[in-house]
Structure 1
């Protein structure tokens, strides 16, 4: 079985789903909790329809949503939320690519590369895509110390700036092709990455971008590893150096300052060749005098504390005070240790002094609101000073980062209802703050307020998802619940957001009304997932697009007549697909493909362009349009150098001209006229 066939297998998509479900629990994954639950309700149908969408080239990735986490530099880190169907496709692609490249890189796991050690699909525990990061840290530390003991006592530490954002799609595609990845898989991935890279935060236009991996999805880390494969190969060939890479952190261990300086420049040039940029900080060759002290300073070994915390559920007094004093020193120096804060605040005991430090120094913790609010929520629920701090922070127009406001509203679980908070959340444009607001209103049982919000198609998917859920769970009136759910279930649009909203609505209906099955046969719209649920049949590109574009139902017996001739139906689908896809980018080819479509339709009736006038009485609209298309093909495309019946060089038809003379209404009328009357040709 080839790579593309393995990609489009049920087992691969099933594994992709399992890997998403088993990915580490964090804020990012919480956004998908409801999607995962809803998708599982008709799991097999949903997987098969998604595979069918890809196979029939109906699948289109959805533009992603973003939120922005503040960094200590004062800038932000973009976090990208994909539609759940896109997440599945992304992970399914990663599964196959990982299997192919694994043989080329696994010998260097825990020798040169230590982070994001990925597994093959036939691993003994394949549902986990990566090895445990704790295991990898230990391997990294042990190997680092061993190298030092062998005389490599100088170190060059190299970081890359905005690594994920700068990964170039063309370069990544070439790396994949060079390493034996099927071009169809590369094409799908490239299309997805291009769509997900688009943003409309500051501009009203969508600018096409060819760089950047979405930060958030598990498998982006894998593709980032793959992007650095040429660098790993290059650096392993260099003499008198030990090369270590943990994700995008690179360490070169050498035996002299001179060798370190040469390799530092060499590494920078190599990184820039990949379109990446080193961090704008001075990189020195550092002499390591004491390896144990260096490792403690560098990697903050908290393993003993972690073991005690897991055993007892809290820290002993000595451990607690040591961590607290470290935080005190950070605050006094006005330099926050990221690793210390992210570790300590999830384990420190209840302590009024720590609470005061956190509330009084909010400007130092701007980039760490998640661990801060986690500590306050765990140790000081319903605390008046904490609540007062949150209300003032959210109500302040001076606070720059809406993400932090969203964390306060969403993660301090005992935050009571307050009109000032509601007013600020309503006033703010930030979608993630509104998302957390709906959760907060639900926790405070503000059913009347929630019912005053109406789902807007212009809202992003995640806002629609959470608002649907909290409203359904808040409503007491079963009739009102059913009315709202029907709106989602009857959704006739065909994009991934609409598909997931249908899946959400249908799952919620069966959860709320388990003894009242919803009759999907009432859904006459074109949502392809509904059709799958009803018929259990694959979607056909030609019939689907005829319905979506022209509202024409192509009869099954007509399709069977086309299929009587070997290869005809495959050519019909290909030509119709290219007609649609090439309209704007290659009008000449688009018209030629439409002409092929019409030719095949006529051939079913035993006619061609030279004999189609005999059908003019029966289907005049269709024949006139078919003739017009054929004339344009003959006189205004690359099919011929001259205009019809002349020696004058033709002018290629433009998209604007094509849209004018062959608009959707004209084609709808033509194909309707054809389908309504084709059976009469059998008796005439």
Structure 2
């Protein structure tokens, strides 16, 4: 399982607001009502945290309708920005949202709504406070747009339904344009039901939902994809569906209380409860697994699946005002057919008999046909670009992009049981393309630049090199069993955070892939290569503070500046956080005071910092 993106967790601790978030989570878990959240939302600590989280976001450089980006926010003094946010929230009116359409695999376009950078900052302030309250109320098998949740967890839950629960009928429901059809009034009522009863806040959210879309007008329904708060609001809408399905079976109380066994993961085994329900009631067994608006409902029998299909269709229409696509929605017998979910196609495969004589079924999963075709075409396109670069620097960039594509696909799809066969099919076509286009450049001997690639692909006989750069073999992928999330992992409890921090002791692959795809322009190949190597060697941590670094805050410092005869060699570079880099070069006493106050360096960290300041000829601090 790939390491989680946790800079936001570190930031919350950094700005001393974690205790507040923990308290909100616990109170929400206990059913408390929140009538005054605006005082927390407009607190200095929350606004500072929001700014930091926005700054690290890759989308912070995307302009809204006013043309401004994070670079414009950076010019504000801290105190002035805090006052401005508070003033805006007192009488909030968002600016128009910029509409952008991005192509979908089916040829259609998905509309995105990009708020202005100031409105994104305000949304982040609200998001940070709503998240712990909502997290306490969300269902365990809701996996999308949530902290510490991933596609792997959703797939693991699907596998469990087939192999452990032996549920072979699945209801696939496709909601028509879900994000565009969210009912504003219903959403506000759902927030009220969750305990969010600060009327000022609800008014602000209502105004956000109705923000003008440039060139389109004022929406009467929907939550625009592209807004920071939109995924959370979408989850709140469908949370009611999760618990409605759960109320049909898994949360029904039995006459006698049966305490389930707590497993190592922290999950409670309720199999005894389900056994009692099967014997003592005529209720229909069903479970939901959801990732964003993509969900599956598992049933035991076909007639039960048919009834639940219609009931769910009516419930979505009556309760949430949402229509389903009859053409795309269906009931699948997993013993006979595949069901697609999140880029995988999954079925139940017969594998001998049990001792009782009944057939035994296990999961058979593959990469979906659409995904296979997409990976193959993207890989072939990238190989063409490697063939005809303008120079070695451009060639290195395209090799990195190809490797990033391949490694990313391997990491995502390795949980398919037949991933090896699927990538063999892709490799058959891609190898031909490589031979035709790159055979004169390919070398069998070479050195891996990055330890991560050596560990993952070092045993493959298909690894090739181009001018010393590794070309990752697309057909070499190893299957791994998907693991469900440990219940104890939780960013809003001290014990849960300890578990998260343990997982952060590894290189964040998502960040590594981003660095591979986005070299620093106008820098040498050596610089960009060594930047990647240093990131891996430091396990993604700042060399001064030891803090885990994320996209947007990774800086590569020259110990001896280029102007003073320094080079881009590995030994002359240092991976550090952006704020540490500013402090390292700072000469203004006010800047030094501000960054020292924010960073809270201990003696050892300050000594490290001063060591590199001395090399630059700057005074110790």
- Which structure is richer in relative contact order (CA contacts within 8 A, separation 6 or more)? 2
Structure with the larger strand share: 2
Q: Please tell me the TM-score bracket, short chain as reference.
A: 0.3 to 0.5
TM-score normalised by length of structure 2:
0.44
* Structure with greater Cα Rg: 1
TM-score normalised by length of structure 1:
0.40
Structure with the larger helix share: 1
